[in-house]
Amino acid sequence: MGFQTQIRDALSELEAAGLLRRPLQISGPQGPEVEIDGRRVLCFCSNNYLGLADHPSLVAAATASARGEGVGAAASRLITGTMDAHREAESAYADFVGAPAAILFSTGYAANVGTVPALAGPDDAIFSDALNHASLIDGCRLSRANVHVYSHRDVGHLESLLREHRPKSRRALVITDSVFSMDGGAAPLRELSSLARFFDAGLLVDEAHALGVFGPEGRGLAAALGVEPDVVVGTLGKSLGVAGAFVAASEDIVSLIRSRARSFVYSTAPPPMVARASIAALELVRKANDARDALLANAAKLRAALRSLGFEIPNGDSQILPILIGENDRTMQLSAKLLARGVFVQGIRPPTVPEGTARLRLTPMATHRPEQIERAIEAFASLCRQE
């Protein structure tokens, strides 16, 4: 059989399993409403939680940088790509999360697949939550460390794995999302931190969905709980509305990452204007207490209303609302029906979530007005009446 035919078969299999992905196209900026095929719809699936993606201050910072510093970074950071913008951004991130140093990556995905293997190798053990983000899972695989997966948020299970496997390994690293991206629950960071300390393991916390939302000035869930992880990953494409990620840690850890993380060493540095826009975003995020309150109030209102309509939403009080459906095709059909009613809510299928747990993942923004939240609830209510 020819290669092209084999590929066609692979596509047919995905299609039959309800797993073929066809992204919708957005015209114009990201916001509480977006334009799809010439139609304005409410957007309830972006990670642009605070509405900063098209904020004038970020646009001004990016524009001024493009005029003054150009667009491209010309090379890897280690060749000729380290520019003033990168250094200034890194000190702003370190300062934000209260770490001695930080290092900028092009994306959160690149940060995780680079950082985990830089910190743990074949002689080491990694202890990883079962629902960690795909980029952490891929980082674990690339590290060739012995990876022990503990049940989701199960501190007892983690402790027994540490007891069994920690003594056999050189270094050990405990890895977790802080707010889980597809479930919205929070990691038990205090317990994880004391276990890591007891077993002489490092703790890496990925704050992708908590940065900007939780903690004083939006500094993340670890800051909210008074936990000091050895390594904090923060992404710049979600609440901060830009793109990229940083890893904040001690000078030594950051030095090791700078020399060993392959996604840093062998990749062109992010455009300076992206770094400048993220600095502008950090300044806004620090002052965004009202927006954080509005975001979590919108989430609470939706959660209560959808539950009373009979939808199953697991416990949690973050801005991420998973509406469990189960079956892949049915999930995508519900997503299409909501879109027809003017509300864009993405369906999430395996392997992003475990088999049989396909879901709608609803994420409000701080900038959704009460009337827009009502319209979203009404769209779900009309689904219920029709079914």
Ligand X SMILES: *Cc1c(COP(=O)(O)O)cnc(C)c1O
Which positions touch ligand X (CB under 6 A)? Answer: 107-109, 112, 133, 135, 177, 181, 206, 208-209, 235, 237, 245
Helix (H), strand (E), coil (C) string for 176-222: EECECCCCCCECCHHHHHHHHHHCCCEEEEECCCCCCCCCHHHCCHH
User: Which residues are designated catalytic?
Assistant: 181, 209, 238
Least Å distance, CB 263 to ligand X, is 11
d(CA 120, CA 142): 10
Residue whose CB is less far from ligand X, 109 or 380: 109
Rounded least distance, CB 334 to ligand X, Å: 23
Comparison of 298 and 363: residue with beta carbon closer to ligand X: 363
Question: From the CB of 330, what's the least distance to ligand X, in Å?
Answer: 25
Closest distance between ligand X and the C-beta of residue 177, in Å? 4
Whole-angstrom distance, CA of residue 170 vs CA of residue 306 = 48
Contacts of 232 (CB under 8 A, 6+ apart): 97, 99, 204, 205, 207, 220, 222, 247, 248, 249
User: Closer CB to ligand X, residue 181 or residue 357?
Assistant: 181
Tokens of 144: 């060739």
Q: How far is the CB of 308 from ligand X (least distance, A)?
A: 29
Nearer to ligand X by Cβ, of 94 and 116: the residue is 116
Q: 65 vs 318, which CB is nearer to ligand X?
A: 318
Residues 6+ apart with CB under 8 A from 282: 92, 93, 96, 240
Contact 58, 275 (CB under 8 A): no
Sign of the C-alpha dihedral computed for residues 312, 300, 348 and 40 taken in this order: positive
